[in-house]
């Protein structure tokens, strides 16, 4: 018994503690940093690719939301507006405001996807689901928190993007010019106009989008026996997620755009409820609060499908590169 104690003491002192303290814990910390960096890079790329792909439709949607151009923004009206914009302002005008969109969407998407991964780990640890898929409620909460975090940190850039999308190019020459003119002529508080409906809208939007996508992937794994869906299946799951998330939050998206663009379109909007009341009184419930939704059913699923798929595939690629023998020391 005495020998056993002495052997254990020598073993403990000489072999177990020092290697763990010196190598194991820092390795875990380094891996966590790599995971965060991978999520940021993957999210940034996902947002940039998705938004660039649908930029002409995105600009058209904002124009419909900001003005009384049509009743329910039928698709043929949307495409007619795109065509007239092309004739009057040129092909690249369809991407007007996309530079501002990139300035916003790259950090927004990077923060949102990275935050989602971190919130999943945090909630998984809290609810005891380490290494397992979250149950439905935590799954929704993780998405909502991720979207809220990203929206809070990048909102002024969204305001600038909306202004550039609905104004002629002579009014604002670049992103910095938008910031300067708004600050000088309307005050710094204007950069956060529409912030409350944005947050109220992003909670169901991000929550339902991430919830739907994660749920469909889990159901696919359970029924197909394959751990990972194919790229085409990811696109389909993402499209469903975008359709559900954007439909649920669309009225608040309209209110947000009206409040953001009020200063340059000749309107005066106050609170969220007052803005909703004015829209409903002037244009009707469905025709006002759901203006542009039919076009969003085309744009939204495409954008969200591309975004989720790009993020997942980039994550997989980066992990494979990290574990490649040629990159190991």
17 found inside a domain: no
Number of other residues whose CB lies within 10 A of the CB of residue 44: 22
Same domain, yes or no, for 232 and 167? no
CA atoms within 13 A on the CB side of 288: 14
Same domain, yes or no, for 188 and 202? no
Number of other residues whose CB lies within 10 A of the CB of residue 78: 24
Query: 104, 49, 111: which is closest to 306 by C-alpha?
Result: 49
233 found inside a domain: yes
Same domain, yes or no, for 278 and 201? yes
Same domain, yes or no, for 216 and 175? no
pTM: 0.74
Residues 6+ apart with CB under 8 A from 301: 238, 239, 240, 242, 243
Same domain, yes or no, for 187 and 198? no
By residue range, what is the domain housing residue 254? 194-306
Contact 183, 144 (CB under 8 A): no
Same domain, yes or no, for 222 and 176? no
| CA 238/CA 234 separation, integer angstroms | 6
Same domain, yes or no, for 160 and 268? no
Same domain, yes or no, for 158 and 255? no
142 found inside a domain: yes
In CATH, what number is assigned to the domain containing residue 91? 1.50.40.10
Two structure tokens written together for 219: 């159901």
Alpha helices, DSSP H only, in 167-191? 175-185
Count of structural domains within the chain: 2
| CA 72/CA 292 separation, integer angstroms | 6
Length of the chain: 329
166 found inside a domain: yes
Query: 56, 28, 44: which is closest to 302 by C-alpha?
Result: 56
Same domain, yes or no, for 129 and 162? yes
Identify the three-state secondary structure at position 140. Answer: helix
Query: 159, 147, 178: which is closest to 262 by C-alpha?
Result: 159
| CA 318/CA 320 separation, integer angstroms | 5
Exposed, middle or buried by CB within 10 Å (0-12, 13-18, 19+), for 212?
buried
247 found inside a domain: yes
Per-residue pLDDT 10s for the chain (329 aa) are 444 444 444 444 444 444 444 444 466 678 888 889 999 999 999 999 999 888 887 777 666 655 544 434 456 666 777 777 667 777 776 777 677 678 889 999 999 999 999 999 999 888 777 667 788 999 999 999 999 999 999 888 878 777 776 677 767 777 788 888 888 888 888 888 778 888 988 999 999 999 999 999 999 999 998 888 999 999 999 999 999 998 888 888 888 878 777 666 556 666 788 888 888 888 888 888 887 677 778 888 999 999 999 999 999 999 888 877 655 54
| CA 154/CA 228 separation, integer angstroms | 32
Same domain, yes or no, for 150 and 226? no
CA atoms within 13 A on the CB side of 15: 5
Decide which of 177, 192, 207 is a domain's last residue. 192
228 found inside a domain: yes
| CA 9/CA 19 separation, integer angstroms | 16
Same domain, yes or no, for 282 and 174? no
Same domain, yes or no, for 188 and 73? yes
Contact 113, 48 (CB under 8 A): no
């Amino acid at each position: 018994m005495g020998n056993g104690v002495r052997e254990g003491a020598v073993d403990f002192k000489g072999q177990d503690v020092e290697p763990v303290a010196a190598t194991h814990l820092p390795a875990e910390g380094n891996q966590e940093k790599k995971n965060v960096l991978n999520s940021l890079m993957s999210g940034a790329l996902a947002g940039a690719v998705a938004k660039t792909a649908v930029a002409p439709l995105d600009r058209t949607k904002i124009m419909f939301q900001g003005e009384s151009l049509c009743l329910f923004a039928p698709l043929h009206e949307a495409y007619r507006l795109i065509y007239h914009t092309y004739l009057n302002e040129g092909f690249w005008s369809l991407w007007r405001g996309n530079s501002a969109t990139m300035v916003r969407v790259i950090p927004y998407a990077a923060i949102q996807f990275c935050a989602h991964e971190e919130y999943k780990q945090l909630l998984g640890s809290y609810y005891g689901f380490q290494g397992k898929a979250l149950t439905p409620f935590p799954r929704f909460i993780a998405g909502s928190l991720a979207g809220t975090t990203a929206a809070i940190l990048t909102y002024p850039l969204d305001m600038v993007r909306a202004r550039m999308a609905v104004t002629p190019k002579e009014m604002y020459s670049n992103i910095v010019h938008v910031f300067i003119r708004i600050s000088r002529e309307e005050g710094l508080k204007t950069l956060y106009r529409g912030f409350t409906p944005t947050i109220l809208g992003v909670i169901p939007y991000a929550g339902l989008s991430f919830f739907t996508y994660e749920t469909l992937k889990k159901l696919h794994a359970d029924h197909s026996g394959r751990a990972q869906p194919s790229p085409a299946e990811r696109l389909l799951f993402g499209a469903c997620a975008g359709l559900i998330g954007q439909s649920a939050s669309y009225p608040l998206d309209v209110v947000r755009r009206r409040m953001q663009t009020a200063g340059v379109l000749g309107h005066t909007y106050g609170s969220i409820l007052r803005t909703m009341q004015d829209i409903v009184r002037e244009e009707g419930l469905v025709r006002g609060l759901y203006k542009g939704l039919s076009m969003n059913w085309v744009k939204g699923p495409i954008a969200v499908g591309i975004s989720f798929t790009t993020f997942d595939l980039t994550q997989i690629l980066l992990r494979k590169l990290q574990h490649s023998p040629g990159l190991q020391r």
